[in-house]
Amino acid sequence: MIRVHRSHIGRETRVAWAITVKDMRTYYTRPPSIMFGILFPFSLFLSFSIGRNIPLASQIPVLISQTLFFSSSSIGPVVIPSERANQTFDRFLTSPVSLLSILMGKTMAGIIYGAGISIIPVLVGAAFFGSTIVNLGALLACFALSSFAFSALGIMFASIPGQTPGQVMMPLNFFRIPLLFISGVYTPILELPTSMQMVALISPLTHTVELARYALGEGVFFGPLLNIAILSAYAAVFLFMGIRFHIMNQRKE
Amino acid sequence: MEDAIEVAELTKYYGDLLAVNHISFDVEQGEIFGFLGPNGAGKTTTIRMLTGVSTPTEGAARIMGYDIQRQPIEAKEQMGIVPDVSNVYSELSAWDNLVFTGKLYDMPRTFRESRAEELLEMFGLYDRRGEKVQGFSRGMKRRICIAMALMNRASILFLDEPTSGLDVQSVLIIRDLIRKLNQRGLTIFVTTHNIEEASQICDRVAIINHGKIAAIDTPEKLKRTVRSLQSVEVAFEATPLEALKHLKALPKVSEVVKEGDKFKLFTDDPSSVYSSIWDYAQNNRLRLITINTLGPSLEDVFVKLTGITPATADGNTDQRARGRGKGQISGREKQ
């Protein structure tokens, strides 16, 4: 038996990263990842943007936000049910590593996927539609916190004991799609009635859209500090809930 | 020397269904311990609790002295696991599967690569190390799965139905491997519903049925507990149509089972039955090809202890006959 006397945190981090790299190699090019993580947000964006009398440059923050939202939250629901179906998820549970590190490894795969794909609209906006990054820090915070929160959201939903991505994507979409309509994506929050503004406040997507708009020099309603605080809180809550649900599954299995 | 596995009152409920019912047993270091039972008896549930996949409802298990619930990292460092399904990463190569397993155990790079090389050579897969596992046969995937379980040089190897569904060559390779690993000091916990396999390789066997342990002992001692299941096996050169009926009518015969071209007559007095068969053959001008007196098999013990009957097994066929022929017993319950 091998005993490796290295720091506990260092060990957990290395194992989590190994899980991330394995998931990146194995699942990024799977059809459900491409469909739900790339085609879905882009087609939604096009269907709601084409024909509207709005300059495309001002739509770039919306595209960034939608891409972060859908791409980051799609990896967990693709990876975990697939691994549950071929029992490779059990491999992690029988390894000498904590559940937190296992789920952090998987969350990181979603973060990298979501953030990586969401760079495309930033580059396209800058190259073809004249959008300018006026606050790089806000954009980085938007990418880091949003991809973390939404990836953790996907991991949390992936605790639903299904064995195909569709079994998790369906309930996840019941949650994701309504958020598009209450988060100031298609209608600016300023134009919403007060009651809807309160609803928008509790949606994590609102704060992604706001941060992206702020980073690209557009007007915002809640402000970046509140956006960062709420996105951070959601990231922690989704991760915590994901861990709790996976522990509950272990009790049931 | 402390036990490799200590199980105390381990219990698992699925809702209202009691899958494992307060089982307790110990496995000594260096032992091959068989966990035998029909499908749905609780074997896989037990192994999942012992390996940390599933949380017990009640009870505790210690692996090399470490509590699997309270000290899961230390306990899991001691074990290698081969589940009932070969859970390899099909999209990765054989090499990458082993190296990734090494990473899960945080083995240093040079160590995990040399171990992966050693295991691939040991399993005859080194030449195919760069190929994706999805193109491998079932037997090859099983070997990769076992190699992955051996990456961390565990003290205890858990094998859940290791030879189920494999071709004869793969079965022989895996049984031989289990013996060799055990000779090197590895403790082996193997679940199976293949009674012949358990009898051949295990030092001790626990028979589990309906979530409860019915018996634990060495295969030979278990066989001695059911002397009433002695039998006489006979084959005739030409078998008359009425032979089964006539043999059942012989004195002191409790049951007759036809196995291929042979008949197995169960009795607690083999010598008397032996004489009766001889008389029957003489009177009917039948020529005997084979006549043997047999002790009870582990399967007979299993059937007696689990109470499996034709009705519980299949409804309308003779389960004992089928089971004896194949060395396997199947129940109907949920696995």
Measured over the CA atoms of residue A89, residue A91, residue A94 and residue A99, the dihedral's sign is: negative
Domains of chain B, by residue range, sit at 5-223, 225-326
pLDDT recorded at residue A142: 96
In the numeric block, the tokens 């899960």 are attached to B104
User: What does DSSP say about strands B32-36 and B204-209: parallel, antiparallel, or unpaired?
Assistant: parallel
Q: In this structure, are residues B126 and B120 in contact, taking their beta carbons and an 8 Å threshold?
A: yes
- Kindly provide the ipTM of the predicted complex, given to two decimals: 0.87
What's the whole-number mean pLDDT along residues B246-250? Answer: 90
pLDDT recorded at residue B195: 76
Q: In this structure, are residues A200 and A184 in contact, taking their beta carbons and an 8 Å threshold?
A: yes
Strand partners, B216: B206
Closest CA to A149 of A206, A50, A73: A73
pLDDT recorded at residue B318: 37
Q: In this structure, are residues B313 and B252 in contact, taking their beta carbons and an 8 Å threshold?
A: no
**Alpha-carbon span B50 to B55, nearest angstrom:** 9
For residues B49, B55, B59 and B65, what is the CA-based torsion angle, rounded to 10 degrees?
Answer: 60
Q: What is the pLDDT of residues A197-220, one digit of tens each?
A: 889 899 999 999 999 999 998 888
pLDDT of residue A2 exceeding 70: no
Q: What is the pLDDT of residues B166-222, one digit of tens each?
A: 888 888 888 899 999 999 999 999 998 777 788 889 999 999 988 999 889 998 888
**Alpha-carbon span B273 to A194, nearest angstrom:** 95
Domains of chain A, by residue range, sit at 8-252
Higher model confidence: residue A214 or residue B1?
Answer: A214
Give the number of beta-carbon pairs within 8 Å between A and B. Answer: 87
pLDDT of residue B326 exceeding 50: no
d(CA B93, nearest CA chain A) in Å: 11
pLDDT band of B309, cuts 50, 70, 90: low
Q: What pTM did the predictor assign?
A: 0.81
Q: In whole angstroms, how far apart are CA B329 and each of B192, B299, B310? A: 10, 8, 11
Phi, psi for A109 (deg, rounded to 5):
-60, -40
CA-nearest residue of chain A to B56? A251
**Alpha-carbon span A99 to B114, nearest angstrom:** 28
Asked if CATH classification 3.40.50.300 holds for the domain at B5-223, the reply, yes or no, is yes
CB < 8 Å to B77, chain A: 1-3, 96
CB < 8 Å to B103, chain A: 14-15, 18
Question: Taking CB atoms and an 8 Å limit, are B76 and A94 in contact across chains?
Answer: yes
- Fold held by B225-326: Alpha-Beta Plaits (3.30.70)
pLDDT of residue A71 exceeding 70: yes
What's the whole-number mean pLDDT along residues B247-261? Answer: 89
pLDDT band of B259, cuts 50, 70, 90: confident
Question: Taking CB atoms and an 8 Å limit, are B106 and A14 in contact across chains?
Answer: yes
Q: What is the pLDDT of residues B36-69, one digit of tens each?
A: 888 888 999 999 999 999 999 999 999 999 999 9
Mutate to test the interface with A, among B106, B115, B155 (most CBs of A within 10 A): B106
**Alpha-carbon span B260 to B241, nearest angstrom:** 14
Q: What is the pLDDT of residues B60-112, one digit of tens each?
A: 999 999 999 999 999 999 999 999 888 999 999 999 999 999 999 999 999 99
CB < 8 Å to B101, chain A: 91
Pick the range with the lowest mean pLDDT from A97-106, A196-205, B126-135, B298-307: B298-307
